[in-house]
Amino acid sequence: MFPNLTRDDVFRLETRRLWLRWPTAKDVPAIVTLAGERAVAETTSHIPHPLERHAVDEFLVTVRGANSAGTGLTLALARREAPGSLIGLIGIAGAEDAPHLGYWLGRPWWGHGLMSEAAAALVHAFFAYSGGERLTVGALPGNGASQRVIAKTGFRWVEQRLTPCPARGGQRALDWFALERAEWERARAAAAPDLALAS
């Protein structure tokens, strides 16, 4: 799915305020603390509460392996002025014919548009580097902040479906969204400056 460019742990994406880099073992304490906070865990269908360190260790081995193989791309979010300090995670995983975007952000950084910035960068990387045709993302119906990130990134609502919820047992209803390559390309073209008019 992802090219050799992304498969080395020196790969990173930079935005105006963030570095998106491979997560490392040094990030484990921050992940346990931030993702393990009940308010954060409850916004997702996959993060258990309480979050145990061994689960984070296993998760990092899995996502770093997927990053190396190019079957996924999970990146740590860090502010540009503190690139070693993780504040959240974002990633694209799943089968090549059904890649899926997922993310969480530590509560101290909520409400500042950081996840929208990170999501735009990773979605751009997905369509620009992977050759993928379609990307999906899900959000809990009551998670307005996540739904705003999804809308700003250009996804459209597809359906509401019951999804397995390993962190809570059973299933939860999720709003499901999709973004097609053609839609991404149209939005990108519309956002590009018209240099002929600028001269």
SS3 40: helix
According to the model, what pLDDT value does residue 195 have?
Answer: 52
Neighbours of 175 (CB within 10 A): 19
According to the model, what pLDDT value does residue 199 have?
Answer: 42
Q: Which residues of the chain have pLDDT under 50?
A: 199
pTM above 0.85? yes
- 4-191 classified as CATH 3.40.630.30: yes
According to the model, what pLDDT value does residue 93 have?
Answer: 95
According to the model, what pLDDT value does residue 166 have?
Answer: 72
Sign for the CA dihedral angle at 20, 24, 30, 34 comes to positive
Structure token digits, residue 25: 């073992």
The string of DSSP letters for 58-98 reads: HHHHHHHHHHHHTS-EEEEEEETT-TTSEEEEEEEES-TTS
Delimit the domains of the chain by residue range. 4-191
